[in-house]
Amino acid sequence: MKAVVIKTFGGPEGLEVVDVPVPLPAPGQVRIATEAIGVGGVDAVIRRGTLTGYGFREGHLLGSEVAGRVTAVGEGVDASWIGRRVWAFTGLSGGYAEQAVAAVEDVLALPDGLTGADAVTLGGSGIVAHFALDRARLAPGETVLLRGAAGSIGITAVQLAARGGASAVAVTTSSEERGARLRDLGATHVLGRSGEGGPDAPAGFDVVIDVVAGPGLPLFLDKMNANGRYVAVGLVGGQPPADFGMRLMDAFRRSLSFATFSSDTVPRPDRQAVRSSQFADAARGDLRTVVHDVLPLDQAASAHRAMEAGEVFGRVVLTP
């Protein structure tokens, strides 16, 4: 089968389409003929070689989430899964392929009315948005800033924050057109990438959810209200400065909090329960997904180039 691997770490040109054996589902796994493959920010971080601690090597098969139809099951898995349309989390590997395997505990049947492309746009990012806002303890009437809101995490977080009763939902983005689209999803204020905004923008924020990190992170620590909570959920802009914590210490008397968040720390049943609820909301039209583009699997490098250039609003989806 066709798959996309990292031939060399670095830019998108390091991705290569290769032929690999069709995977066999191990005990407790299912195999899925993929219909839609999500392209996420974590894929780009892995491709660059900057996600440390996981032992990634050249030749790594990218991809974390897929949607498609179950074609085989491993030992101990109910055979009734075969033929069902599902979404699946494949870990941090194996998704950019014509067929993928996943633990059955990380598989959800898709509700009627939800496309595979919508499922991989929401499945991984939706729970990050949900649990990050929960970790930040966002309460009705508070102000929230979503940094890097044009991606699938931010797009979902905008909707959840507005639905949760935030008095202001500010977003950072790169253009007026994107700002208008985010306002349509529930944003009340649109700021530039460095947090600059109009005179009506809140002077400070109770909650900041940051997908970007990178060298600009300290600027947004300065935008927090007293008792503000900052939750970093991504590193698409790279690591922040090594001394960024000094901003927190300099503001000691304002009782600011900084946290990182990965959905890996949420118990699997809790992740699946929230994901199932979000899928149902999306199928009813109560939660909106934004698919930026659908490209063939062999154009994975083009998808990554679009992300690198900041051209993507929502999520790019690959199809075999």
Calpha distance 91→96 (Å, rounded): 12
This prediction's pTM: 0.94
Instruction: For residue 309, give both structure tokens.
Output: 């250039």
The domain segmentation of the chain, as residue ranges, is 2-110+290-319, 126-263
Instruction: For residue 126, give both structure tokens.
Output: 């939706």
Q: What is the CATH code for 126-263?
A: 3.40.50.720
In this prediction, residue 201 carries a pLDDT of 87
Runs of H (alpha helix) within 73-196: 116-135, 152-163, 176-185
Calpha distance 197→227 (Å, rounded): 22
Contact 58, 66 (CB under 8 A): no
Amino acid at 28: G
Mean pLDDT in each 10-residue stretch from start to end of the chain (320 residues)?
97 97 98 97 92 88 97 98 98 96 98 97 97 98 96 97 97 92 97 86 95 95 97 92 94 96 96 98 97 98 94 96
Calpha distance 92→61 (Å, rounded): 9
Q: Is 49 left (phi over 0), alpha (psi -120 to 50) or beta?
A: left
Domain 2-110+290-319 has CATH 3.40.640.10: no
Q: What DSSP string describes 58-77?
A: TT-B--SEEEEEEEEE-TTS
Calpha distance 17→19 (Å, rounded): 7
- Segment (H or E) for 269: helix 268-284
Tell me if residue 300 falls in helix, strand or coil.
Answer: helix
Tell me if residue 148 falls in helix, strand or coil.
Answer: coil
> Which residue has tokens 């309460």?
139
At residue 181, φ and ψ (nearest 5 deg) are -65, -35
Tell me if residue 248 falls in helix, strand or coil.
Answer: helix
